[in-house]
Amino acid sequence: MTTYREEAGFPPALNSIQTPPKGKLMRHPDPNFGYPSLSFAEHERMLSRLRNKSGKNFMRTGAHVLDTHIDAIGWDEAVSRIASWASQHQSRYVTLCNVHSVVTASQCNEFNKVISQADLALPDGAPVAWALRREGFLKQERINGPDLMWRYLSVAEKIGQSVFFYGSADDTLEKLSARIKKQFPKLRIAGMVSPPFRELTAEEDQAYVDQINKSGAHVLFVGLGCPKQEAWMASHRGRIRAVMLGVGAAFDYHAGTIQRAPKWMQKSGMEWLHRLASEPKRLARRYAITNSVFIYRMVKSVLFGNQPARKEGAG
């Protein structure tokens, strides 16, 4: 009999142990993605902030959503932090947390620790962003993996950083590469790797670490799915000399192998329904469990006010 944790895809190691940019924005040509890329003026503002903040500590603000601290942060600040860390090849990891993530973290101490120790835990799901607004961060937006990845590719092209992609399948990476090269012709792709869909040996894992480090990549996009990618990033902090971003299905969305929800569904917090309709056999049970738990816990919090306090700290 399989447990919920096994069905949720926990790797063996875990089972055993705010405001949007101002001004006129250019839009991605694919209406299914429905998010802005940075204009030239916005690029310059971001670069100015990066020059001013490089080498300085950042103050983290946010609040607990269920039992997990989530950062309250805007798009510009998130990109600026990542760019600053990446410019120095700091070994950091960034998680993007949706309802599945925070519910899973509330039920698994090991996964909760992985999210809590991330250098940034961003509100990927719309309900997670709504929960932050309830805690007083009234302008908090949803900062999701596909949008963050595409925005950062635009910034990386502008400032001369190279990127590496780890995860997904070979055919997806091939399509992704073609699309990126067309959209960002000056971007340096340091490498792409589709690891085997099994647990790696220590030797195989070290070979991939060496390949990534030798490539000189500033940012590593990790597309292994939750919670595997988060556990992988946590175990490789200090080994990978780059900023790691766990972006889930972003590789498939941008490669065109999976169609993303229309823009209106993304903005209204209904993207999960589009995903459920696209993959009912895989997602129906997960959503039935995690959405129910999330709603119950949030209603309980509203009625009894038992949410942990908001937090601030250096990052």
Q: Which helix (H) or strand (E) covers residue 41, if one does? A: helix 40-53
Domain limits, the chain: 66-303
Nearest to 38 by CA among 53, 27, 54: 27
Instruction: Give the separation between CA 47 and CA 39, rounded to whole angstroms.
Output: 12
Q: What is the pLDDT of residues 229-272, one digit of tens each?
A: 999 999 999 999 999 999 989 999 999 987 666 776 766 666 66
Average pLDDT, the chain: 81
Residues paired with residue 69 on neighbouring β-strands, in sequence order: 64
163 in Cβ contact with 190 (< 8 Å): yes
Report how far Cα 140 is from the mean position of its chain's Cα atoms: 16
Nearest to 139 by CA among 83, 81, 75: 75
pTM, entire model: 0.78
Query: What's the confidence (pLDDT) of residue 290?
Result: 75
Q: Taking CA 71 as the corner, what is the angle to CA 218 and CA 228, rounded to the nearest 5 degrees? A: 60
272 in Cβ contact with 97 (< 8 Å): no
98 in Cβ contact with 124 (< 8 Å): yes
Each as own residue / partner, the long-range contacts of residues 305-308 (CB below 8 Å, 24 or more positions apart, any chain) are 307/63, 307/64, 307/135, 308/63, 308/64, 308/67
Query: What's the confidence (pLDDT) of residue 123?
Result: 97
Q: What letters, b where the CB count within 10 A reaches 16 and e where it falls short, cover 146-160?
A: bbbbbbbbbbbbbee
Q: Can you list the residues of the chain whose pLDDT is less than 70?
A: 1-57, 259-261, 264, 266-279, 281-284, 286-287, 305-315
Question: Could you tell me which residues come within 8 angstroms of residue 121 by beta carbon, excluding any fewer than 6 positions away?
Answer: 62, 68, 69, 70, 71, 94, 95, 97, 115
Query: What's the confidence (pLDDT) of residue 286?
Result: 67
Question: Between the CA of residue 85 and those of 65, 78, 91, 105, 209, what are the distances in Å?
Answer: 26, 11, 8, 26, 19
Query: What's the confidence (pLDDT) of residue 298?
Result: 80
Query: What's the confidence (pLDDT) of residue 295?
Result: 81
Instruction: Give the separation between CA 146 and CA 144, rounded to whole angstroms.
Output: 6
